[in-house]
Amino acid sequence: MESNIILIALGAAVVGLVLGLVISKVREKSNASQLTKNAKREANSIISKAKSEGESTKKDKIFQAKERFLELKSEHEQVILSREKKMGDTEKRIRDKESQISSELSKYKKLSTDFESKIKDYDHRLEILNKRKEEVDKAHKGQILQLEVISGLSAEDAKHQLVESLKSEAKNDAMVFLQDTMEEAKLTAEQDAKKIIINTIQRIGTEEAVDNCVSVFNIESDDVKGRIIGREGRNIRAIEAATGVEIIVDDTPEAIILSCFDSVRREVARLSLHKLVTDGRIHPARIEEIVKKTQKQIEQEIIEVGKRTVIDLGIHGLHPELIKTVGRMKYRSSYGQNLLQHSREVAKLCGVMAAELGINPKLAKRAGLLHDIGKVPDAEADMETPHAILGMQWAEKYGENAEVCNAIGAHHDEIEMKSLMSPIVQVCDAISGARPGARRQVLDSYIQRLKDLEEIAFGFSGVQKAYAIQAGRELRVIVESEKVSDEKAGNLSFEISQKIQTDMTYPGQVKVTVIRETRAVNIAK
């Protein structure tokens, strides 16, 4: 009984368990179906939303595509219109050309017709001309035969006599021309000879002028002379050997003379002596040391002078060797005129003149500065070559402009001038050299001309004072009022001007001013 109850209980438990399982499965199935329904609803909503968004995107893309199509269509239409316009213009030009060609062709046909008629006319005239030429030749031969019979000479003999007469006449003309040329050469030979000699002296180094060959070294007392000379003259010999300068110690008080044509050597000797005297230690070893240092100092100073010069003139890109040559101009002279100052002045004049003429002023300055570099030769320079040609060769060697090289070589007419720069440099060189007081020869003649002007004025009675002013372009004469009246003053001015015009040779004109002054002076007490 108890076992039956147990079995019943077990059966009920199993049934309950099965029912629980069935119920749980049913619940899970219902939950799963619910989840499936929810998922389907969400999927349907997403799909509907995607469809709506797709439709809107599709509409937008279609709209954009239509807009782009319209734009491309309008652009294509514009291109087609422009092409059609071009084609129309081209067709119009072609039609114009065709009409022009047809008109030209008609003209050409007309000209060809005229030309053919002219050719026929020319052939006809040529035929007539040939016939007439034959007739003239026959007549000429007949006249020659008649002349030979009349003169008793053949044509060859007559030709020979004519040639001989022409030869003698040409010989006489040549002798006259040669005589005139010789007389002109005699008149200018002395002037040209002086120019050539002075130029040669300046370049070769002969001791010509004291101003160019001598420097004076001042000392505080004559006791220093003995220290410079040294024991048995060893110090002075050491200085002369080291510098190449002759040192003259004479009776001149507180001064020693340094003699050498090379200005650089003289400057080295002067500075070396100054350092030695200032230092007080004067012996051969010290002299050699000081001279070497001074030489380096002078070389550096030459470079600095060249650089400063080109900077002041606004010249750029000059070769270092040419800059050094410009610096060396400081220690050279031309007819007593410092070469560097002369070249700077020529450069400035060239710049001004070139600017007035509308030419590159910087290039003109460059040519003016370098025009006399041939006067500063180095050890390897050919002394027989004119300085203008030598300077042109150096400028070409260091890559200067062709116009600058031609201006350097042509400023003394050694070569042909190829640009307007060359006569500008030549004229400015002459202006700088001819300025009163610039060069020794010009200064002497200038002073003499002023004296001659004043002496002419003093040659007339009643003249109290005479002054030549404005570089000899004006003569002011002060007369005594008691001896010369106002009317006579005017006559005196005329007479003096006529006397100057007759007796003197001068450039330009001279203004003569006669001043007559009357003063009445009283003193109140």
Tracing tokens 């100052």 back to the chain, one arrives at: 341
Mean pLDDT over the full length of the chain:
79
Domain 210-290 coded CATH 3.30.1370.10: yes
373 exposed, middle or buried (CB, 10 Å; 0-12, 13-18, 19+)?
buried
Q: How far apart are CA 51 and CA 54, in angstroms?
A: 5
Q: What is the pLDDT of residue 204?
A: 37
Q: Could you tell me which residue, 331 or 321, shows the higher pLDDT?
A: 321
Report the chain's C-alpha Rg in angstroms: 56
Q: pLDDT band at residue 449, thresholds of 50, 70 and 90?
A: confident
Q: How far apart are CA 193 and CA 500, in angstroms?
A: 29
Q: Could you tell me which residue, 140 or 77, shows the higher pLDDT?
A: 77
Q: How far apart are CA 261 and CA 206, in angstroms?
A: 7
Residue type, 368: G
Tokens of 229: 């000379």
User: Percent of the chain having pLDDT more than 90?
Assistant: 1
Provide, for the chain, the percentages of residues in helix, strand and coil under a 3-state DSSP scheme, each rounded to the nearest 5. Answer: 75, 5, 20
Indicate whether 426 pLDDT > 80.
yes
Instruction: Report the residue count for the chain.
Output: 525
Tokens of 304: 């600095």
Q: Could you tell me which residue, 163 or 61, shows the higher pLDDT?
A: 61
> Residues 8-22, buried b or exposed e (16+ Cβ, 10 A)?
eeeeeeeeeeeeeee
Beta-bridged to residue 85, according to DSSP, are none
Q: What are phi and psi of 463, to 5 degrees?
A: -85, 125
Q: pLDDT band at residue 1, thresholds of 50, 70 and 90?
A: low
Q: pLDDT band at residue 206, thresholds of 50, 70 and 90?
A: very low
Q: What is the mean pLDDT of residues 369-384?
A: 73
Indicate whether 236 pLDDT > 50.
yes
Cα torsion angle, 517, 520, 524, 525, sign: positive
Indicate whether 340 pLDDT > 80.
yes
Indicate whether 447 pLDDT > 50.
yes
275 exposed, middle or buried (CB, 10 Å; 0-12, 13-18, 19+)?
middle
CATH number of 445-516: 3.30.300.20
Tracing tokens 């100054």 back to the chain, one arrives at: 274
Name the pTM for this structure.
Answer: 0.45
Q: How far apart are CA 373 and CA 391, in angstroms?
A: 5
Q: pLDDT band at residue 477, thresholds of 50, 70 and 90?
A: very high
Domain regions of the chain by residue span? 75-152, 210-290, 328-434, 445-516
Grouping H, G, I as helix, E, B as strand and the rest as coil, residue 464 is strand
Indicate whether 327 pLDDT > 80.
yes
Q: Could you tell me which residue, 193 or 75, shows the higher pLDDT?
A: 75
Q: What is the mean pLDDT of residues 469-481?
A: 83
| Most confident listed range (97-111, 256-270, 409-423, 427-441) | 409-423
* Parallel, antiparallel or unpaired: strands 511-516 and 474-479: parallel
Beta-bridged to residue 257, according to DSSP, are 216, 248
Q: How far apart are CA 302 and CA 13, in angstroms?
A: 132
Strands of the sheet with 214-218, listed across from one edge: 214-218, 255-259, 246-248
* CATH match for 328-434 among 3.40.140.10, 1.10.3210.10, 1.10.3720.10, 2.40.37.10: 1.10.3210.10
Q: What is the mean pLDDT of residues 141-170?
A: 70
Q: pLDDT band at residue 201, thresholds of 50, 70 and 90?
A: very low
Q: How far apart are CA 323 and CA 370, in angstroms?
A: 10
Indicate whether 197 pLDDT > 50.
no
Q: pLDDT band at residue 473, thresholds of 50, 70 and 90?
A: confident
Q: What is the pLDDT of residue 411?
A: 85
Q: What is the mean pLDDT of residues 372-383?
A: 70
Q: Residues 442, 448, 454, 458: what is their CA dihedral angle, to the nearest 10 degrees? A: -170
Grouping H, G, I as helix, E, B as strand and the rest as coil, residue 514 is strand
Tokens of 40: 């389907």
Q: pLDDT band at residue 127, thresholds of 50, 70 and 90?
A: confident
Least confident of 158-162, 209-213, 317-321, 386-390: 209-213
Grouping H, G, I as helix, E, B as strand and the rest as coil, residue 246 is strand
> Do 364 and 462 form a contact (C-beta atoms < 8 A)?
no
Number of separate helices (H) and strands (E) present in the chain: 15, 8
Whole-Å CA distances, 409 to 74, 368, 405: 72, 12, 6
Whole-Å CA distances, 514 to 459, 480, 493, 510: 14, 11, 6, 13
Instruction: Mark residue 437 as left, alpha or beta (left: phi above 0; alpha: psi -120 to 50; beta: remaining).
Output: left
Whole-Å CA distances, 106 to 70, 100, 112, 116, 150: 53, 10, 10, 15, 64
pLDDT in tens, 46-102: 888 888 888 888 888 888 888 888 888 888 888 888 888 888 888 888 888 888 888
Q: What is the mean pLDDT of residues 36-51?
A: 82
